[in-house]
Every structure is written in C-alpha cells, then in structure tokens.
C-alpha cells in the first residue's frame, strides 16, 4: 500500500524531458519523482501521487495512460507530445487525461498552471470520495439500531427495495427515524452516487411551494431576478425525499401527480418541459389512507407514491431494542472520550416509559443523563424527571393491586362463577365475596 504522498511523478524515457520539467517546476515547491515506463509500477506501489506528467511518444504510451487511469483513477494525468494528429488527442481525452500539451511548449506559465490545477483537482476529488464514503458508512443498515421482530421485518423489506427503482412511502410517528431510513435506502441503492435532496414540506410557505419544487425562470414573478432550478430538477437521476408529504396542498398535489406520470416538470413562467428522472421517497407521521378518506390527500397521488409502504414502529412497540439504542446513543455522545456505564435499573425504567417522542426523546434523555451523572455511571436518579415519574407509576404496583387484578382475571376466566373462582384462588367462598364487596369488584 502507498505510504507517502507526492505531488507529481514524471514519466518518460528521455532524461531531457525530466530535466526540462524539473527546471520548470523548481519554483513551485512541489514534491516530484522521476520514472521510466518500466519502473512506474514500483513507484505507485510505494507512493500516492496526485498527478502524473507523461510524455507521449507512440501508441504504446497511450495504452499506458489508459492503464494508469483505470488502475489509479484519482491520479490526474497531464500528457505532453510532439503528435499533431487529432485522433491521438481524442484517444487521450477519452482515456480521461486532464490536459494535453504539444511540444515544443510555447506557454510555460500555462503549462505549469495546468499541472497545479490537475493536482488541486485530484485533491478535491479525493476529498469528495472520502466524504462520500463517510456518508455511505453513516447510512449503512447496521446503523439503524434494533433486533426486535418488527425491525427485522423492516430490514427485510428495505433490502428488497434498494435495488428496485420504485416510489416508497415511509410512515411512522415523529422521532422514529424516517429520514434515517430514507437515507439508508438511497445510499445503499442503485442511485447512491447521485444526489439525495431532502425537504420538509411543512416548512415551505404555501406561496413559495411551486417555485421551490418546480423552479422558475427569470422575471416570472416579482422578485424572480434569475432563473432557478427546483427540487425535482436538482434531484435529477437521484432521490427526492419529501418529509411530511401530507402537508402539501391538494392543488400542488395535482402538479406532483403530473411529474410522476410524465417524468417531466415545467418551471414557473416557462413554456418548455424538462425531463427528470427522480426516485421519490415520501414520509409522514399521519395515516395517508385516512388523509385520502378525509379528502385531504388525493387518492391518485397516493397510489402513485405508495408502491412500497414501510412502517417504522414507535419505540413503545419495540422496547426490546431500548438497551441496544441506549448503548449506541451513549457511545455517540461520548465519542470514546468518556467511558459511561449505565445501571441495569436505569435501563429497566426506560423500557417502561412510553416515549411519545420516540428515539429523538430517548436521545435527549441520554444526553441529559450523561450530563448530570456522577462517577461516569448513569443511575435511575440521573434520568429526566418525567421518565422517572412515569416509569414508577407504571412499573411498581402494590401487593393489593396485584391481588385485585388477579381476582378480576380469574373471575372473567370462569365467567364470574364465584364458586369455581374461589376454588381456583384457593380461598373460601365467603372470603371471595368479602373481597368483591370491599373493593367494589364488578363485571
């Protein structure tokens, strides 16, 4: 593996070529290696270059350029040669070279400038590739935490969706992680190298909604000082994530439907349509079928969007996942700077709290506990008051409450036959009647 970065490798069989470039670049403070064609493989094995300057002498060197571009795509290649044949230049450009200069070089300043531009382009490209990898890693399926049955069912369906270009509706309460699921679908799917555009429909003012989604041309309305692409156009070949889709007014829904049917948009003020290829992932915390029944959401748009429906269960329906989520969130917020432990009793309390704000609320609770805990250990007393209070009310019952609930359960099971119930409870019939009367137990 390469272990040292260098700016340029100059590749030629001619010493005069190496000497000329060394002289041209002596003031540039660039790190430079010199190599023949045969030695280049060894250099690439031990060094990481941003640019290669290659002298083109014959057809074999053109194939050599193609080999470098294929094996080391982040290395930008600048070629120099005596060839005036346009077909050779075209072949080099098709191979992906950054620039080509004919010898003798007339403008040394331009030549050096192009080499520096190639190096900068390589640096930027590597940064983009790095951040793409970081983003892709962040939205891998294993970053969606949960091993409960409902989450496993969700993963199974997601894995079937990622390689099929279909529209998806994600439904779930606020805070369940709908955008995380949407990003996982995009960054693990066929369009992962393409744009992912996310928008909260509820946050767009009604009067700006059409311009935001479809764009506009200059002068189409007051304040339109320049033409502007809309979200559909910006997401072309990629994914458009529409959060809170149910908040879009019905008159704008009609135009959405046309985009899905015709795969084209028309900017405000324009009479020309623009073809778009966009995968739609919509999300809502409402039941879209109920919105359709109430005439607040168009049924034809609903059927176009709802090819695949994913339901993210609320946290209260997957309490088995809470210990995993708690550990994940502690690690996320400490980033290995502190080793935080959590008592089993604290996790137990969290599993019985209903979490109306779902994972978002759980994350806030973990941040709170990390902040206030002593000795890097989270106890029940370090949980937010609302979590402690609700959990105690629901978790801890008196012996009398447990006894009365059991009596009611047995009576219901035997259809309120008190003699049979007394035998099952292993108490006298008079004792059972007394308990029923004292505690006002009724059918």
Q: Are residues 18 and 95 in the same domain?
A: yes
How many residues does this entry show for the chain?
Answer: 443
Q: What is the CATH number of the domain that holds 257?
A: 3.40.50.300
Beta bridge partners of 281: 168, 241
Of 264, 280, 311, which residue sits at a domain end? 311
- C-beta separation of 49 from 40 below 8 A: no
266 near 214, Cβ under 8 Å? Answer: yes
Q: Are both 298 and 339 inside the same structural domain? A: no
Is 412 part of any domain?
yes
Query: How crowded is residue 234: how many other Cβ atoms within 10 Å of its Cβ?
Result: 16
Q: What is the pLDDT of residue 392?
A: 55
Does the predicted TM-score (pTM) go above 0.75?
A: no
- Has residue 1 got a pLDDT over 50? no
Give the integer Cα–Cα distance in Å for 100 and 48: 22
Both 242 and 290 in one domain: the answer is yes
Q: Which residues pair with 198 in a beta bridge?
A: 241
Neighbours of 396 (CB within 10 A): 9
Tokens 């080509």 -> residue: 100
Q: Say if residue 257 is in the same domain as residue 345.
A: no
48-56 and 32-35 strand pairing: unpaired
- The residue-averaged pLDDT of 122-136 equals 77
In the predicted model, is pLDDT for residue 391 greater than 60? Answer: no
Backbone angles phi, psi at 338, to 5 degrees: -135, 145
Question: For position 84, what pLDDT does the model report?
Answer: 65
Q: What pLDDT was estimated at residue 40? A: 67
Domain limit, last residue, from 311, 344, 373: 311
> How large is the angle between the packed helices 108-138 and 15-24, nearest 10 degrees?
80
Coil, helix or strand for 243? Answer: strand
Report residue 38's pLDDT band, with 50, 70 and 90 as the boundaries. Answer: low
Q: In this model, does residue 369 exceed pLDDT 90? A: yes
pLDDT of residue 233 exceeding 70, the answer is: yes
The pLDDT confidence band at residue 99, using thresholds 50, 70 and 90, is: confident
Shared-domain flag, residues 107 and 245:
no
Burial of 167 (0-12, 13-18, 19+ CB in 10 A): middle
How many domains does the structure of the chain reveal?
A: 4
Q: In whole angstroms, what is the distance from residue 326 CA to residue 362 CA?
A: 8
| Shared domain check, 110 and 12 | yes
Q: How far is CA 423 from the centre of its chain?
A: 60
The H-assigned helical ranges of 163-314 are 178-187, 209-214, 231-234, 250-262, 288-293, 299-305
Instruction: Tell me how far the alpha carbon of residue 63 is from its chain's centroid.
Output: 39
Mean pLDDT calculated for residue range 339-364: 92
- Residue identified by tokens 């029940």 is 380
Among 92, 90, 95, 91, smallest CA distance to 71 is for 95
Looking at 87, 102, 135, which one is the last position of a domain? Answer: 135
Q: Do the domain assignments include residue 330?
A: yes
pLDDT in tens, 278-314: 999 999 999 899 999 999 999 999 999 999 999 999 9
Output the domain CATH number for residue 74.
3.40.50.2300
Looking at residue 306, what is its pLDDT?
93
Please give the distance of CA 48 from its chain centroid, rounded to a whole number: 30
More confident residue, 357 or 4: 357
Confirm if 214 and 169 have CB atoms less than 8 A apart: no
Whether 35 is covered by a domain: the verdict is: yes
200: phi then psi, degrees, rounded to nearest 5: -90, 110
**Residue 54 phi, psi dihedral angles, 5° rounding:** -120, 135
- H helices of 139-200, in order, are 149-161, 178-187
In degrees and rounded to multiples of 5, residue 283 shows phi and psi of -140, 150
Same domain for 307 and 391? no
Cis peptide before 104 (omega within 30 of 0): yes
The pLDDT, as a whole number, for residue 363 is 95
The least confident of 50-64, 86-100, 258-272 is 50-64
Most confident of 134-148, 251-265, 381-395: 251-265
Lowest mean pLDDT among 77-91, 156-170, 261-275, 328-342: 77-91
pLDDT at 354 over 50: yes
Kindly state the helix (H) or strand (E) to which residue 242 belongs, with its residue range.
strand 239-243
Burial class (CB in 10 A: 0-12, 13-18, 19+), 179: middle
Mean pLDDT of 31-60: 73
CA distance 279 to 241: 8
| Within a domain: 443 | no
**In the structure, what pLDDT confidence band is assigned to residue 355 with cuts at 50, 70 and 90?**
very high
- Residue of 205, 264, 201, 206 lying closest to 232 (CA atoms): 264
131 shares a domain with 41: yes
- 3-class secondary-structure state, position 82: coil
User: CATH number of the domain that 410 lies in?
Assistant: 1.10.10.60
Shared-domain flag, residues 160 and 222: yes
> Is the model's pLDDT at 3 over the cut of 60?
no
The whole domain housing 103 covers 5-135
pLDDT band for position 322 (cuts 50, 70, 90): very high
Tokens (6 digits) for 422: 């007394």
Two tokens, residue 81: 């040669």
187 shares its domain with 332: no
Instruction: Looking at mean pLDDT, say which of 135-149, 219-233, 302-316 comes out highest.
Output: 302-316
Contacts of 371 (CB under 8 A, 6+ apart): none
Instruction: Answer yes or no: do 116 and 187 share one domain.
Output: no
Pick the closest to residue 122 from 110, 134, 112, 114 (CA basis): 114
Domain of 375, CATH number, reads 1.10.8.60
Cβ atoms 54, 83 nearer than 8 A:
no
In this structure, are 128 and 164 located in the same domain?
no
Mean pLDDT for the chain? 85
Burial of 122 (0-12, 13-18, 19+ CB in 10 A): buried
Count of H helices and E strands in the chain? 19, 14
- Return phi, psi of residue 76, to 5°: -85, 135
């Amino acid at each position: 593996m390469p272990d040292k970065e260098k700016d340029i490798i100059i590749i030629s069989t001619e010493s005069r070529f190496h000497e000329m470039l060394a002289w041209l670049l002596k003031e540039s403070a660039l790190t430079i290696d010199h190599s023949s064609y045969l030695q280049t493989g060894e250099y690439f094995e031990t060094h990481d270059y941003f640019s290669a300057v290659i002298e083109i002498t014959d057809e074999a060197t053109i194939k050599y350029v193609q080999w470098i571009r294929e094996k080391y795509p982040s290395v930008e290649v600048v070629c120099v040669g005596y060839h005036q044949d346009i077909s050779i230049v075209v072949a080099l450009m098709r191979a992906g070279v950054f620039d080509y200069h004919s010898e003798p070089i007339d403008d040394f300043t331009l030549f050096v400038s192009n080499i520096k531009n190639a190096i900068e382009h390589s640096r930027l490209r590597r940064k983009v590739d790095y951040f793409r990898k970081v983003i892709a890693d962040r939205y891998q399926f294993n970053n969606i935490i949960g091993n409960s049955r409902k989450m496993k069912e969700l993963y199974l369906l997601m894995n079937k969706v990622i390689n099929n270009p279909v529209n998806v509706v994600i439904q779930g309460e606020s805070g369940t992680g709908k955008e995380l699921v949407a990003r996982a679908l995009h960054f693990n799917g066929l369009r992962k190298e393409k744009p992912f555009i996310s928008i909260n429909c509820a946050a767009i003012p009604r009067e700006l909604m059409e311009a935001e989604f479809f764009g506009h041309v200059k002068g189409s309305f007051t304040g339109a000082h320049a033409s502007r692409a809309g979200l559909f156009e910006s997401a072309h070949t990629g994914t458009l994530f529409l959060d809170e889709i149910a908040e879009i007014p019905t008159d704008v829904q009609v135009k959405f439907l046309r985009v899905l049917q015709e795969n084209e948009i028309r900017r405000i003020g324009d009479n020309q349509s623009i073809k778009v290829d966009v995968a739609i992932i919509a999300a809502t915390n409402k039941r879209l079928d109920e919105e359709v029944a109430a005439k607040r959401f168009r049924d034809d748009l609903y059927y176009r969007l709802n090819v695949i429906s994913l339901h993210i269960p609320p946290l209260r329906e997957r309490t088995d996942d809470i210990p995993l989520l708690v550990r994940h969130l502690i690690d996320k917020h400490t980033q290995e700077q502190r080793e935080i432990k959590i008592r089993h009793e604290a996790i137990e309390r969290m599993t019985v709290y209903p979490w109306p704000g779902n994972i978002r609320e759980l994350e806030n609770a973990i941040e709170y506990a990390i902040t206030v805990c002593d000795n890097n250990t989270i106890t029940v007393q370090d949980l937010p008051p609302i979590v402690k209070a609700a959990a105690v009310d629901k978790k801890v019952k008196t012996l009398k409450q447990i006894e009365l609930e059991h009596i009611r359960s047995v009576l219901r099971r035997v259809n309120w036959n008190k003699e049979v119930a007394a035998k099952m409870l292993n108490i006298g019939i008079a004792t059972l009647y007394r308990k029923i009367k004292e505690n006002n137990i009724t059918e």
